[in-house]
Protein backbone atom coordinates (compact mmCIF):
# COMPACT_ATOMS: atom_id res chain seq x y z
CA UNK A 1 0.00 0.00 0.00
CA UNK A 2 1.43 3.42 -0.91
CA UNK A 3 1.61 6.32 1.51
CA UNK A 4 -1.46 8.09 0.15
CA UNK A 5 -3.64 5.05 0.71
CA UNK A 6 -2.10 4.34 4.09
CA UNK A 7 -3.08 7.86 5.17
CA UNK A 8 -6.52 7.42 3.64
CA UNK A 9 -7.01 4.09 5.44
CA UNK A 10 -6.11 5.69 8.78
CA UNK A 11 -8.41 8.64 8.12
CA UNK A 12 -11.24 6.23 7.31
CA UNK A 13 -10.66 4.29 10.55
CA UNK A 14 -10.57 7.44 12.69
CA UNK A 15 -13.68 8.91 11.03
CA UNK A 16 -15.54 5.67 11.57
CA UNK A 17 -14.74 5.83 15.29
CA UNK A 18 -15.85 9.47 15.32
CA UNK A 19 -19.11 8.63 13.56
CA UNK A 20 -19.90 5.82 15.99
CA UNK A 21 -19.11 8.02 19.00
CA UNK A 22 -21.22 10.79 17.46
CA UNK A 23 -24.28 8.52 17.22
CA UNK A 24 -23.69 7.15 20.72
CA UNK A 25 -23.42 10.66 22.16
CA UNK A 26 -26.76 11.63 20.63
CA UNK A 27 -28.43 9.43 23.22
CA UNK A 28 -25.72 9.63 25.93
CA UNK A 29 -24.77 13.33 25.88
CA UNK A 30 -23.29 13.32 29.42
CA UNK A 31 -20.98 10.34 29.11
CA UNK A 32 -17.68 12.03 29.92
CA UNK A 33 -15.67 9.01 28.83
CA UNK A 34 -17.22 9.09 25.35
CA UNK A 35 -16.75 12.86 25.15
CA UNK A 36 -13.08 12.41 25.98
CA UNK A 37 -12.67 9.72 23.32
CA UNK A 38 -14.50 11.86 20.77
CA UNK A 39 -12.15 14.79 21.38
CA UNK A 40 -9.12 12.53 21.21
CA UNK A 41 -10.14 11.09 17.83
CA UNK A 42 -11.09 14.54 16.60
CA UNK A 43 -7.59 15.76 17.41
CA UNK A 44 -6.08 12.82 15.52
CA UNK A 45 -8.37 13.51 12.57
CA UNK A 46 -7.33 17.17 12.38
CA UNK A 47 -3.63 16.28 12.36
CA UNK A 48 -3.95 13.48 9.81
CA UNK A 49 -6.35 15.28 7.46
CA UNK A 50 -4.08 18.34 7.42
CA UNK A 51 -1.16 16.07 6.52
CA UNK A 52 -3.16 14.43 3.75
CA UNK A 53 -4.41 17.73 2.33
CA UNK A 54 -0.92 19.24 2.21
CA UNK A 55 0.25 16.56 -0.20
CA UNK A 56 -2.80 15.17 -1.97
CA UNK A 57 -5.34 17.99 -2.16
CA UNK A 58 -8.45 19.11 -0.30
CA UNK A 59 -10.83 16.69 1.44
CA UNK A 60 -13.52 19.36 1.82
CA UNK A 61 -14.51 22.22 -0.48
CA UNK A 62 -13.79 24.60 2.41
CA UNK A 63 -10.11 23.75 2.01
CA UNK A 64 -10.24 23.90 -1.79
CA UNK A 65 -8.63 27.31 -2.31
CA UNK A 66 -5.09 27.00 -0.97
CA UNK A 67 -2.33 28.87 -2.85
CA UNK A 68 -4.36 30.81 -5.43
CA UNK A 69 -5.80 27.88 -7.36
CA UNK A 70 -9.07 26.06 -6.93
CA UNK A 71 -7.95 22.49 -6.30
CA UNK A 72 -11.31 20.97 -5.46
CA UNK A 73 -12.14 19.84 -8.98
CA UNK A 74 -8.84 18.06 -9.58
CA UNK A 75 -9.00 14.37 -10.55
CA UNK A 76 -9.22 11.68 -9.35
CA UNK A 77 -12.55 11.56 -7.57
CA UNK A 78 -12.95 8.84 -4.95
CA UNK A 79 -14.93 6.45 -7.16
CA UNK A 80 -12.47 6.63 -10.04
CA UNK A 81 -9.91 3.93 -10.75
CA UNK A 82 -6.87 6.21 -10.27
CA UNK A 83 -7.98 6.90 -6.69
CA UNK A 84 -7.79 3.19 -5.91
CA UNK A 85 -4.20 2.59 -6.98
CA UNK A 86 -2.48 0.92 -4.06
CA UNK A 87 -5.73 0.07 -2.24
CA UNK A 88 -5.95 -3.55 -1.19
Partner 1 sequence: MWTYDKRLQYPIKIAKCNPQLAKIIITQYGGADGELGASLRYLSQRYTMPYAEVKGTLTDIGTEECAPARYK
Q: Contact positions toward partner 1, by CB under 8 A?
A: 5, 8-9, 11-12, 15-16, 19, 22-23, 26-27, 29, 57-62, 72, 77-79, 84, 87-88
Query: Cβ of residue 8: shortest distance to partner 1, in angstroms?
Result: 5
Tally of helices (H runs) and strands (E runs) in the chain:
2, 0
Contact yes or no for 45/15 (Cβ under 8 A):
yes
In the bound state with partner 1, the residue whose beta carbon lies nearer, of 32 and 77, is 77
Query: Cβ of residue 22: shortest distance to partner 1, in angstroms?
Result: 7
Cα(28)–Cα(20) distance, integer angstroms: 12
Cα angle: 74, vertex 80, 81; to 5 degrees: 120
Cα(5)–Cα(49) distance, integer angstroms: 13
Query: Cβ of residue 36: shortest distance to partner 1, in angstroms?
Result: 20
Amino acid sequence: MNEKNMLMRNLAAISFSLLDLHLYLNTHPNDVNAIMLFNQYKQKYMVLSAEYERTYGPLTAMNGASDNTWKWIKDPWPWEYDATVGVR
